[in-house]
Structure 1
């Protein structure tokens, strides 16, 4: 009969414990307290003329707490300037099927626009666009760019 490898590990561990039992315990300093949890990153400020990036996890359109804080500030700014249009442009990274990435970039843009509407920004002021997958992979491509004063351009 072949013994299970776990039995050998258990036996070796018990032998090591027995060997240490006769020796006094070493004196050590008390363990250091665990490091304090890092505070959530501050929501980036947005002012007129700036684009605000809202980043997403891979294959997600969920707005995390920092994104919600930044979007709340953007909504407040937008309400202070009621005649300025808002452009929301969604992007995705190149990983995965191209069609799925277009759908994800559209969903991300829609989630940001819906959040702004929930915060009191009139839907008629918000224009959404989606660009699909970007060539660069990583967090920079998993974003929505929100511009508070992007004028709509009319072609002649």
Structure 2
């Protein structure tokens, strides 16, 4: 007796055993009972911070950044008590001093653009945080424009 016929017989027996097992019968799930239509969800609250992103080693405001600046200016005009905090960030790549200066420059550029868009300087405050440890990509190269409708404005 050779090894091949034994192997073939074992394979056939295994297939036959599988074929004899009946597949479990699963009943279809019952249709859900009709319900009254749920009320529409409340409109999502606008985010409190608008990110403005920059290219690496740049403080130039591009078209997408300008759209975010326009939205921030609109929010301030729509809410008389609204104040904006402009916070600059930078990537951790490169020297810490260069990134600290770049985050300051980015915050200053956004601050100036908001003033040019008609936001009173008295409603703005700006600061910078420098490099963002742990963030290497686009999210580290940003300025956040934070809307605070209750805080008094301080100019810096």
What TM-score results when the alignment is normalised by the length of structure 1? 0.64
Q: Give the paired residue count.
A: 107
- 1:37 is matched with which residue? none
**Superposed counterparts of 1:37-116, under 5 Å:** 47=46, 50-116=48-114
Alpha-carbon distance between aligned partners in 2 of 1:152 and 1:105, rounded to the nearest angstrom: 24
- 1:121 is matched with which residue? 119
Moved over 6 A (4+): none
Larger Rg: 2
Alpha-carbon distance between aligned partners in 1 of 2:85 and 2:61, rounded to the nearest angstrom: 18
- 1:142 is matched with which residue? 141
String of CA shifts for 1:44-65, please: whole Å, max 9, x gaps. xx93x61111100000000100
Alpha-carbon distance between aligned partners in 2 of 1:70 and 1:126, rounded to the nearest angstrom: 16
Which structure 2 segments of 5+ residues have no match?
A: 1-44
Alpha-carbon distance between aligned partners in 2 of 1:123 and 1:142, rounded to the nearest angstrom: 24
CA root-mean-square deviation: 1.8
